Structure 1
Amino acid sequence: MSISTKLPLADSLHRVERGSVAPGGRRRQGGSFRRAGWLTYVLLTALSIFALGPILFFFFNAVKSQGEFASNPLGVPRVWEWGNFTSAWTEAAMGAGLVNSAIVVLGTVAVTVVVASSAAYALARLEIRGGTTFVTYLLVTSSLPTQMFLVPLFYLWADLNLYDTRVGLILIYVGLFSPFATLLLRSFMLTMPKEFEEAARMDGASELGVLFKVVLPNALPGMLTIALVTALSAYNEFLFAITFIQTGSLLPVSTTFFTFQQGFTQNFALISAAGIIMIAPMLILFLVLQRRFIDGLASSGLGGS
């Protein structure tokens, strides 16, 4: 090969290594990539501001006096009233409310996970008659407005002596959140390979053995997802809590905002402080478990993937 042939070849290889020309002779559009990267950062920053902005303003209102809140509802507080958190905690008995919410949430999550796991395994792995019809029924019932169940549930719970009890509220939440949890976990189980289950059956394992020793250990990400979704829903639910619980010592924390109503006026500074105290536990829990939550949601097929 002549020297004149080697020089253009070496120059082309050098340009490919530098990234100015793609291997096929096409010029690499690095500027487009950089612009796309900057656009992504701008969009993510705007979404972050949109998500965190209300919480920030909520926090600012929580450390204002009632007079400053009325005159400056959207600005940074001139005087930081940190005592609002203490007043909200004591006046609304938020300690007892958090305890009641913890009992209701833990009970709801435990029963919902058991019910949803059993139903999802039956719908995803067992060949049962009418399975498709039952899935359609779950889709329809999970989309119905919850207000339509208030009146019949009120009379039924009163006859069963479940009215004004935490057990009665837990059972209502299980009925409300189990359909969606079952569909979510069923979608997750459909993505799991069946080879391990078939191997367990060949070794003589029963269906319960396959469920508890093979399926459920592999379905832990999906179970964690439905547990977190159920916990958030039960913790934030207000309508059924205020309707079916009347004793003040049994009220969950989501109903504490009525405490700050004085006649026809409300102390919005204390309401904001109580709101910050209320959202703090679930916010911390979600931040700790967000990676597992997103992975489980994406693996279930309901996360837009």
Structure 2
Amino acid sequence: MNKNTKIYIAGHKGMVGSAVCRALVSKGYSNLIGKTSVELDLRNQQAVTEFYKKEQPEVVIDAAAKVGGILANNDYPYQFLMENMQIQNNLIDGAYKAGIEKFIFLGSSCIYPKFAPQPLKEEYLLTDSLEPTNEWYAIAKITGVKACQAIRKQYNKDFVSLMPTNLYGSFDNFDLQSSHVLPAMLRKFHEAKLNNHSDVTLWGSGKPMREFLYVDDMAEAVVYALENNLPEYLYNIGTGEDITIKELAATIQRVIGHQGKILWDAGKPDGTPRKLMDVSKMAAIGWEYSTALEDGIQKTYEWFLENIENIKEVKLS
């Protein structure tokens, strides 16, 4: 791998894709390709095939997906299943047919069973049933993992899947109708602070435990996978540490400086009780995270404040 290797980052405008671009540029990679959804509809097989033929990238990093929180997954199950499968199938199959040797597929920890033993090991994949509130997205991502594994097994190509834990950071989705828990909380506490420190109501009991990884750390893991031939087909990417949702709320409240009360709506779903990643496989080959949670939240809030007008206008949904 050299600094002029032609690398296509699918989803380069999203939170993960933009972080990957920043990481690659910072390390001197100069031949990067990115296409917006208007320029290239990844759901269109012919368009993706023609793109590969014209651009001839040497490496593909798939950070493109239709994403959202519990509410969005519940309301739009077909879109979360079908559109994600269309996107990844076109990218993976197109890359294989174009003779691309290296493909990095990015997924999510939701691919693992709802009640799998903790921490989640890679070998727990497909050993039990999924969390119903996001199974549509999870099933799509599982098919992507297995497609990359099949190409790796049958054709000996360096197709690898990285499964991050809950990500947050710059360019996150802060739309309260479709965002994940951390950015949704950050926005709620910020707006409550502006509203004379009014009380904040959050979903569920606050008891579930979650792990959070700063997106720039995820990008570093992607670069590590780019620059090394990883010996296995699937790797968890995370911190290996988790906290309760109540602890997360208290941390975000502290960073933002909100002084009102936190109220919990126990009538709303909690989701999976715990999702902690076993990250020992990545650690064993030389990669670990570097950004502490509170530091990452502080950086995210600073970005949010700098971009709040655009966030309010387009909601990044």
TM bucket (normalised to shorter chain) is: under 0.3
Which gives a bigger RCO, structure 1 or 2 (Cα 8 Å, sep 6+)?
A: 1
TM-score normalised according to structure 2 size:
0.19
- Normalized per residue, the structure richer in helix is 1
